[in-house]
Amino acid sequence: MKNKRNKILIKVFFVAILFLFFGIFGFTKTSLAVPSVSGISGTISHGNSITISGSDFGVKNPAKPLMWDDGEDAVVDTFPSASPNEYSQVGYSDYNPIASRDGDVIPESWQIKYRSVTFTPTGATEILDAISPSHSHSTKYIVGGHYMCTENCDGQYDGGNNGGRDVGLTIPANGPVGTFEPRWYSHWKYRLHPAMPACTGTDDNHKWNIIQSAQEAYGGGLFPNDFVYGCNEDLSGSPCTRSETLSLLTYELPGDVMPREAPLADCTEGEGEGLNVNVENPVLEWITIEDVIVNDDTDLSQRTTKVNQKNAWSCHNSPLWFTNGVGQGIGSYTLGGFYRYDMFPINAQHSDIYRYFDDVYVDSTLSRVVLANNATYEDATVVEPQIPSVWAGDEITIAVNQGALPDGTAYLFTFDADGNISSGYPVTLGETSDTTPPSAPSGLSVS
C-alpha cells in the first residue's frame, strides 16, 4: 500500500514538473513571438494588391492606416479633404493655408492644395520653378505657401503673420473630438522650395511637425514640435537654409514638458541618444521623415525621429507628452507648422516659402508593413510603407507602394503593435506577371 502511494506521489510530482516546464516555456514562446513572413501571392508591382502569409502578425483593426495620401487619386487644384479616401480611416481635421484666414485673403497659389508636379508657384516677385517629384511614381503632391500679406491686410499683425503663419496637414485620432491615442507612427516625404530666403533674424525657425491634444494644429495648449534650422544661439552659427546638413532642436512654449528651444541632444529630463546632426536639408532635396512615438507607459514616453533612415533623434524615458487626467494620448499629428522669417514686421512671412508633402502615411499603431532596400532593416537607406486593407494574425493584404525603391530586389518587413519586426523577406519589385508558386495538386493518388 505504501509503495503504491509512493508511486502515485512520484507520478504527481513528475506531472507537476512537466506542467511547470511547458508552462514556462510556452509563456516564453508567446511573449517572445515575432512576426514571420512565409510567402507572398500576387504580382509585386506598384499599385497592385498582394497577400502576405505568415504568423504572429498580431491584431490591427481597422487594417487601414489613419492616413495614406500620395495624391494620385486627388483632383488637381483642390484642397485636402476632411473625408477619408479609400485607403484611410480619417480625413484631414485641419489644413492651412486656406482661401481666407483671420482676416487675410490668401491668393490661390499659396493655398494648400493638390498640385501637378509641373506646378509653378507664384513667388514674391516672380513665378518660381516647378519642383521635381519625390520619385518616378509620383505625378502629384500637396503644396502650400507662407503668403506675406502686403496690402489690405486685416490680420492680427502686419506682415501677414496670421494668414501665412503656418502651412500644414493635420491627421486626427479616429474618434470623436477628445479622442487620444498613445502610439503614433508617421512617414512622409518633404521638400521646401529652394527659392526660400536665408533666414536673417535671431529667432528665425521652421517647424516641420507638431503633436497636440486637440484636432487642429497648435490646439489644446500643449504642442511639442520640431524644427530643422534657425539663426539662433542654440545652433551656434549654423548657416541656416543653405547648409547641406542641419541640426535638430525641439521647440515648445515656456512651461510645457520641455524648456523652450531645448536641444534634442540633451533630451531634457530624459536620456539623449543617437543625435545625428548630418540631416539632409529639405531646401536642397526631398527628404523622408519617419517618427515613432510611444506614449502609453505609466509616466514615461519614447520618441525616435529619422531623416532618410538616419537616426536624427531618439529619446527614451522622458516625461509624458500629454495627460488628460485619465490617460495619456495625442489627439492629432500635424505635418508642417509655423515658419518665422524675421522679427520685423512682427513674425513676418515671406512669399517665396513653399512646402511640399508627398506619400503621407500616419497611423495610431506601430503595426505596419514596409519594403526596404536592405535585408537588414537597420542598414536600409530607403524604406517605403505599404498600404494594408486586410490584417489577420497569419495573413495581410496590401496595396504595393514602391515609392523611391528601384525595380529589382527589395525586402518586406512586418511589424506588430509592439514594434517587433520580422526578418526581411526578399521580393522582386516591378514584376509584370504573378510569380506566386502553384498550389500542390489534390485528389491524386500514386499506385
Final residue before a domain boundary, out of 314, 339, 363? 363
Residues 334 and 390 in one domain: no
Residues 332 and 258 in one domain: yes
Q: What is the pLDDT of residue 263?
A: 36
Instruction: List, in sequence order, every residue forming a beta bridge with 145; answer none if it has no partner.
Output: 354
Q: What is the pLDDT of residue 396?
A: 99
Residues 348 and 412 in one domain: no
Print the domain residue range for 411: 35-60+365-432
Rounded Cα gap, residues 366 and 293, in angstroms: 9
Rounded Cα gap, residues 337 and 219, in angstroms: 12
Rounded Cα gap, residues 289 and 340, in angstroms: 21
The pTM assigned to this predicted structure is 0.83
More confident call, 21 vs 270: 21
Three-state SS letters, the chain: CHHHHHHHHHHHHHHHHHHHHHHHHHHHHHHHCCCEEEEEECCCCCCCEEEEEEECCCCCCCCCCCEEECCCCCCCCCCCCCCCCCCCCCCCCEEECCCEECCEECCHHHCCEEEECCCCCECCCCECCCCCCCCCCCCEEEEEECCCCCCCCCCCCCCCCCCCCEEEEEEECCCCCCCCECEEEEEEEEEECCCCCCCCCCCCEEEEEEEECCCCCCCCCCCCEEECCCCCHHHCCCCHHHCCEECCEEECCCCCCCCCCCECCCCCCCEEECCCCCEECCCCCCEEEEEEEECCCCCEEEEEEEECCEEEEEEEEEECCCCCCCCCCECEEEEEEEEECECCCCCECCCCCEEEEEEEEEECCCCEEEEECCCCHHHCCCEEECEEEEECCCEEEEECCCCCCCCEEEEEEEECCCCCECCCEEEEECCCCCCCCCCCCCCCCCC
Give Dmax over CA atoms of the chain in angstroms. Answer: 107
Residue 263 lies in a domain: yes
Amino acid identity, residue 406? Answer: P
- The CATH number linked to 395 is 2.60.40.10
Residues 175 and 279 in one domain: yes
Residue 157 lies in a domain: yes
Q: Residue 70 pLDDT > 90, yes or no?
A: yes
Per-residue pLDDT tens digits for 343-363 = 555 556 678 889 999 999 999
More confident call, 277 vs 404: 404
Q: Residue 251 pLDDT > 60, yes or no?
A: no
> Do residues 336 and 354 make contact, with C-beta atoms less than 8 angstroms apart?
no
Residue 13 lies in a domain: no
Residue 24 lies in a domain: no
Phi, psi of 84 (to 5 degrees): -70, 145
Q: Report the alpha-carbon angle 173-91-395, nearest 5.
A: 70
Q: What is the pLDDT of residue 6?
A: 56
Per-residue pLDDT tens digits for 126-139 = 999 999 999 999 99
Residues 263 and 161 in one domain: yes
Residues 190 and 74 in one domain: yes
Distant-in-sequence, close-in-space partners of 83: CB < 8 Å, separation ≥ 6: 91
Final residue before a domain boundary, out of 363, 381, 403? 363
Q: What percent of the chain has pLDDT over 90?
A: 48
Residue 25 lies in a domain: no
Distant-in-sequence, close-in-space partners of 407: CB < 8 Å, separation ≥ 6: 429, 430
Average confidence (pLDDT) over 161-165? 57
Residues 93 and 242 in one domain: yes
Residues 246 and 376 in one domain: no
Average confidence (pLDDT) over 161-187? 86
- The CATH number linked to 87 is 2.60.120
Residue 2 lies in a domain: no
Q: What is the pLDDT of residue 322?
A: 62
Q: What is the pLDDT of residue 294?
A: 87
Amino acid identity, residue 258? Answer: M
> Do residues 349 and 148 make contact, with C-beta atoms less than 8 angstroms apart?
yes
Q: What is the pLDDT of residue 270?
A: 35
Phi, psi of 427 (to 5 degrees): -135, 165
Q: What is the pLDDT of residue 342?
A: 61
Q: What is the distance between the terminal CA atoms of the chain, rounded to a whole angstrom?
A: 57
Per-residue pLDDT tens digits for 86-111 = 999 999 999 999 998 777 788 999 99
Given pLDDT bands bounded at 50, 70 and 90, which one contains residue 76? very high
Cell of 179: 479622442
Residues 252 and 384 in one domain: no
Residues 332 and 405 in one domain: no
Q: Residue 234 pLDDT > 50, yes or no?
A: no
Closest CA to 173 of 184, 165, 164: 184
Rounded Cα gap, residues 443 and 55, in angstroms: 28
A 10 A CB-CB count for 284 gives 16
Number of structural domains found in the chain: 2
Q: What is the pLDDT of residue 286?
A: 95
Residues 102 and 193 in one domain: yes
Residue 74 lies in a domain: yes
Determine how β-strand 383-385 pairs with β-strand 387-391. Answer: unpaired
Residues 107 and 55 in one domain: no
Given pLDDT bands bounded at 50, 70 and 90, which one contains residue 269? very low
Final residue before a domain boundary, out of 340, 363, 386? 363
More confident call, 369 vs 303: 369
Residue 89 lies in a domain: yes
